[in-house]
Amino acid sequence: MVFEKVRAILSEQFDKSEEEITLDTNLFDDLEADSLDLADLLSSLEDEFDIEATDDVISSVSTVGDVVNYICELTGLS
């Protein structure tokens, strides 16, 4: 459930098909995200999952799987 929602957000934000985005997709290398993209992503994730993420999450994630794991830890969802 979390992965599907994250994938949908990333697909829209980075104009990629959902099929192109896997847990191993690297935010920087594969999606060419920069710090502004990550800030936008974080805002979208906070709205979608009703969470308040800390700023250090931006420096601690590099793959879609990292993002999913972070959300799962905060929410208890899987």
Burial class of residue 50 in the structure, from the number of CB atoms within 10 Å of its CB (0-12 exposed, 13-18 middle, 19+ buried): exposed
* Cβ-contact 71, 3 below 8 angstroms: no
Residue of 24, 30, 34, 56 marked catalytic: 34
34 is catalytic: yes
**Which residues are catalytically annotated?**
34
